[in-house]
Amino acid sequence: MPSDPSENGKTTPEKGAGTEPPRIGTDEWVAQVASRKRQTRGFSGWLAMRWERIPLGWRFGMVLSLLILIPLATNTQAFLDLLGISNNAFIVRTATRFLVFALLAIGLNVVVGYAGLLDLGYVAFYGIAGYLYAYLSSDFVRIGSLGIDGLHVPALLSIPLIIAVTAMVGWLIGTISLRLSGDYLAIVTLGFGQVFVQLVLTSTRVRVPWQDRPVNFTRGPNGINRLDDVTLFGYTFESTIQYYYLFLVLLVLVYIGVRHLNFSRVGRAWRSIREDELAAEVMGAPTGRLKILAFVIGAGIAALAGSVDAAWQGNVVPVPRYSVLTLINLYAMVVLGGIGSLTGVVIGAFIFTVLPEVLRSSAVAGVLFYGAGLIGLYFLLKPFKRYALILIGTVSSGFLLKFLVLTLLPGLHTGLPEPGSILNQAVQSWLVIPADYKLVGNVVTGLSALVLLLTILARQRPRLFYPLLGISIYMLAFSWETRLALEPSATRILIVGATLVVLMIVRPHGLLGKPEVRVV
Amino acid sequence: METFFSLLPQTLVNGLTLGSVYALIALGYSMVYGILKLLNFAHGDIYMIGAYLGYGVFIMFFTEQGALIPTALIIVLMLVVAMTGAGVISIVVERFAYRPLRYAPRIAPLISALGVSFILQNMVQITVSPRPLSYGSDTLIPRNAIFELGDLRIHASRLLVIGAAMIFMLFLTYFVRQTRLGRAMRAVSTDLDGAAMMGVDVNQVIVLTFFIGAALAGAGGVLVGIVFFSLRHTMGFLAGLKGFTAAVVGGIGSMPGAVLGGLLLGLAEAFTSVYLSATYKDVVAFVMLIFILLVKPSGLMGKPLLQKV
Amino acid sequence: MPLLEVNGVNLSFGGLRAIQNLSFEVEDQEIVSLIGPNGAGKSTALNVLTGIYPPDSGEIRYRGTSLLGLKPHAITALGVARTFQTLRVFLNLSVIENVMTGAYCHSHSSLLATALRLPSWRREEMRIRSLAEKNLAFFGDRLMGYRHDQPAYSLSYANRRRLEIARAMTTGATLLLLDEPAAGMNPNESAEMTELIGKLRDEAGYTILLIEHDMNVVGNISDRVIALDYGQKIAEGTFESVTSDPKVIEAYLGHQTGGEA
Ligand SMILES: Nc1ncnc2c1ncn2[C@@H]1O[C@H](COP(=O)(O)OP(=O)(O)OP(=O)(O)O)[C@@H](O)[C@H]1O
Ligand SMILES: [Mg+2]
């Protein structure tokens, strides 16, 4: 077979029996080049290799025990002292949110990652389940003529019911929208999600035939509150930590269930639909039914998360919880983690619930900002010598500039009224900060974005690149100190946005997703 | 019934005003989609940037002493700056956030676009203001500049919006139909790789498409500010959604479709507000979208996809 | 009763009459080849048979059951499976998974059994896997061993063609429709493919309807040959009689300088 060197399978005596590595040069050895490359690169490669050698069950157990320990470990005195906080309520709350989002993201992953359907109405299922739970488990539903003064259906009954109803809605939406393909499916489902939120917001004074007065179905933007806690077999979940463990159990069950589905006839069929719908249909998979099934399972998982989440939070509010913002968050998690990879999706959920919380504190955000900047710069400028040279050059130019300004234009530099932490003070020591730092900061912040982009463009031309890089560093530090650090709420979203763009460019297939091959 | 007819002309004008703006936004969505099959979710924020750039010009020439130059000139300047600025920013966004992802999985540029949207919104919030701003209800076009046609009273600002939007669209039609670059644009949107092989500079066409689309959206931002008096850094989100909806209703990828979709959506909202309830106008927009797509799965003027096996 | 009966089928795309009044039959355990110049409508005929395009008129029966109005997956489940001229393997699935997808129409595990990995699921999964392995083994060493877990995109074109056949076999079909299985192969590989198609019938009992441009392949294995031109059947019979038919020669020479015959 002279035409195809990788085809000479007949001449190699041993076939990959598994235990011993293939002989160098055989086609099996050639076929493994990619994975070998991945495994040997750098420290992370070494770590990944180590990690993959651990049996699957063990890996799962390790992560699980970590998750079980989080609320306990963060409650120890040593840990609280380390962070300088009085209790770990905030941490447990964030961790619980992470679990809720992980559940939701796994459901979305079934629809988007496996079946390849761009469902932009997914949060509506989460919302529908939340509202159904609110109706079934609070004083809200009052029908005088029937003597109903609030429904309090036991969770063991209500949650399966909610899942069933939401899944039916999913079936309906799926059936309707699957007449459309690709991006049209996306927009119709987006419309569906919007209609849900708008209806919740506006259905406060609806005239119904059987009542004289208009009925308030949703209490609009205020939402419904004072929902019952979940009670299972006589045990009532009340505190966040109790819900944390409830969600953890649910997550483990759903994770395992979905993983099993993925490696079965249904999962294979879904993935084949994502690859090539027509070929999948011709190979005997009823693609229409399978896509609807993905919709229904996604809706069911969202309903499970949504109803327990409503119970945990004790209320339901349409915006922002069930709005497009949450949808965007979920998509970011699924795509960032690596579409189709369950573990990746959970990691994505972790990053996108924890990162914004961490950025809330501007001290921590500053450490992250400068830390990430320094590390990123190192990878950009390796070897270390060049890296150090650039940094020293930039900082000393900064000091020189400051010295010149102080001697030539005394009075220009006034410094910030509140310099902030030690880190901030250290950075500010080489910045010229004028009295109207806010205005200047605004301009510099805008410009620094431009200069940074220019720097990226100029990276092939050292003469331009290094000076520009120095200027970018200076300007970014200036923007951070004078504006960004002072506006933590906007800045954290800015950083999340930048993270999304950069991560997509560096790893378009997500952290754990496999790079996909489309046409070869 | 009588009130129905007496409100009709006014509602039509309102609908057309709103529809013109949606059409301007929808055009950019549709053009970019036609060429790259990319749902540019940051497009609404480009429109917001346009409105804010217009605001920058506005405060530069409107000091406490009043207007420094004639208001007509100010409006023209606002439009020019907004259109150019929005166009340039959009090119930058394309270069840095979309171009590296041209051959990535379909969903990657979508997420990148969301990231860009976050960045633009929050940059404006930090560097300009988190509070709503306004061109002033009276400053640019006096409150009493009203044309009367029988019972119908039309404020000049509405005429300005409708008129400006029409001029832009006519110009765009001319450009796409008659110029060499316009033809290149159509070629690329029919078959990107094919056009590249025939010697069309695809990157140039893509940059141009982003620029024109963003310029139209930027103009839309200024026009909206002139009619509705309120700017916010978050205004791009819903407007983008509406523009997107309009583009899809008309048949995404089709320029006449985008205009038609925009006008229809504007009219639908105006009629709902007047005859049903203003609270339901957004619901109606999306219900209309779902309905039209189910009846005509590729939009009103879109061509159905042909699949060869 | 013939296994497949096609009777008076017509299909046009707008003004183009891609299939005109096409009628033919395929008997059980027969190897029939469809030939004709490029654009003659051969692939379109397969698309009609597998339910991708509904015909404008005509009748198609498999084992006496009408295939009209059935979705492609239902036709496959009845026992008609195909390969594609423009290879459509699932590139990002592994080789073995590609083949296992074919088993969807004759597997039944419920969602619950799957999620909980009940013994019934385990048994069925084992059955599917060994069926897939058996079908891959049909191709000798080509797709064996470590290749099972490689992604399909790592395969050469020739191997992708083999993979598609294995996938079609796994659907449990008795009638295989192969669209240019030897396209893009070198003479050695074509010869191997010819032998293989013969084995598919002789050893595994499949009935085969084959589209092929390579006349060596067609001549070596066909029981019967049908020639198409402009969507119409212009000749039918043994390989020798069809290839010496003046209409067929004209069809090939008329709009294709050189021809492959
Ligand atoms: N979906 C479609 N829409 C329009 N025309 C089509 C479509 N599919 C096929 N055709 C046309 O029908 C005719 C027959 O095409 P077909 O693919 O069946 O030819 P073929 O005999 O398989 O040729 P080849 O040997 O090149 O594969 C061609 O003119 C082709 O362009
Ligand atoms: Mg063909």
Most A CBs within 10 Å: which of C94, C95, C111, as the mutation test of the A interface?
A: C111
CB contact under 8 A, C92 and A268: no
Q: Token match 């070869």: residue?
A: A520
Domain of C12: which CATH number? 3.40.50.300
**Same domain assignment for residues C118 and C147:** yes
CA atoms within 13 A on the CB side of A426: 6
For residue range B8-64, list pLDDT tens digits in order.
Answer: 888 888 899 999 999 999 999 889 988 888 888 899 999 999 999 999 998 888 877
pLDDT at C161: 92
The percentage of residues in chain C with a pLDDT greater than 90, rounded to a whole number, is 68
State the pTM of this model: 0.84
Going from the C-alpha of B94 to that of each of A119, A314, A422, B97, the distances in angstroms are 25, 44, 39, 6
For residue C114, being part of any structural domain is answered with yes
C84/B contact by beta carbon, under 8 A: yes
Locate all alpha helices (DSSP H) within A142-238, ordered by sequence: 155-177, 182-202
**Which range marks the domain in which residue C229 is found?**
4-79+173-253
Q: What's the structural domain count of chain C?
A: 2
Domains and CATH numbers, chain B: 6-295 (1.10.3470)
What pLDDT band is residue A36 in, cutting at 50, 70 and 90? low
**Same domain assignment for residues C95 and C74:** no
Chain A, window 240-279: residues with a beta carbon less than 8 angstroms from a chain B beta carbon = 278
Atom of ligand 1 nearest to the CA of C14: 4
Asked whether the predicted pLDDT for residue C32 surpasses 80, the reply is yes
Nearest one of A136, A165, A133 to A152, comparing CA atoms: A136
Pick from C9, C10, C13 the residue to mutate for probing ligand 1's pocket: most ligand atoms within 8 Å of its CB. Answer: C13
B53 contacts B82 by C-beta, under 8 angstroms: yes
Q: For ligand 2, a single-atom ion, which residues have Cβ within 5 Å?
A: C 43, 85
Phi, psi of B237 (to 5 degrees): -65, -60
For residue C61, being part of any structural domain is answered with yes
Asked whether the predicted pLDDT for residue A508 surpasses 50, the reply is yes
**Same domain assignment for residues C41 and C104:** no
CB contact under 8 A, A283 and C93: no
**Same domain assignment for residues C106 and C36:** no
For residue C52, being part of any structural domain is answered with yes
pLDDT at B215: 96
**Same domain assignment for residues C198 and C246:** yes
**Same domain assignment for residues C182 and C69:** yes
pLDDT at B217: 95
For residue C75, being part of any structural domain is answered with yes
Pick from C11, C16, C22, C52 the residue to mutate for probing ligand 1's pocket: most ligand atoms within 8 Å of its CB. Answer: C16
Locate all alpha helices (DSSP H) within B1-152, ordered by sequence: 2-36, 43-61, 71-93, 107-127
For residue range B85-127, list pLDDT tens digits in order.
Answer: 999 999 999 999 999 888 887 788 888 888 899 899 999 998 8
**Same domain assignment for residues C28 and C98:** no
pLDDT at A27: 66
For residue range C45-62, list pLDDT tens digits in order.
Answer: 999 999 999 999 999 999
pLDDT at A7: 37
What pLDDT band is residue A43 in, cutting at 50, 70 and 90? low
**Same domain assignment for residues C47 and C68:** yes
**Same domain assignment for residues C128 and C183:** no
The lowest-confidence range among A336-350, B24-38, B141-155 is: B141-155
For helices B255-275 and B281-295, give the axis angle rounded to 10 degrees: 140
Domain boundaries, chain A: 100-358, 364-486
For residue C162, being part of any structural domain is answered with no
**Burial per residue of B130-156, b for 16 or more beta-carbon CB atoms within 10 angstroms, e otherwise:** eeebebeeebbbeeeeeeeeeeeebbb
CB contact under 8 A, A279 and C72: no
For residue C226, being part of any structural domain is answered with yes
For residue range A205-243, list pLDDT tens digits in order.
Answer: 777 777 777 888 888 888 898 888 888 888 888 888 889
For residue C164, being part of any structural domain is answered with no
C137/A contact by beta carbon, under 8 A: no
For residues C223, C229, C231, C233, the Cα torsion angle rounded to the nearest 10 degrees is -40
**Same domain assignment for residues C71 and C94:** no
Q: What is the mean pLDDT of chain A?
A: 84
Q: What is the DSSP letter of B305?
A: P
Q: What is the DSSP letter of C172?
A: T
A22/C contact by beta carbon, under 8 A: yes
Who has greater pLDDT, A383 or A351? A351
**Same domain assignment for residues C116 and C137:** yes
Cα A269 to ligand 1 centroid, rounded to whole Å: 28
The CA distance from A106 to A251, in Å, is: 9
What pLDDT band is residue A5 in, cutting at 50, 70 and 90? very low
β-strand pairing of C207-211 with C175-179: parallel
**Same domain assignment for residues C68 and C133:** no
Give the residue on C whose Cα is nearest the Cα of B308: C44
Beta bridge partners of A232: A235
Amino acid at A109: N
Asked whether the predicted pLDDT for residue A187 surpasses 80, the reply is no
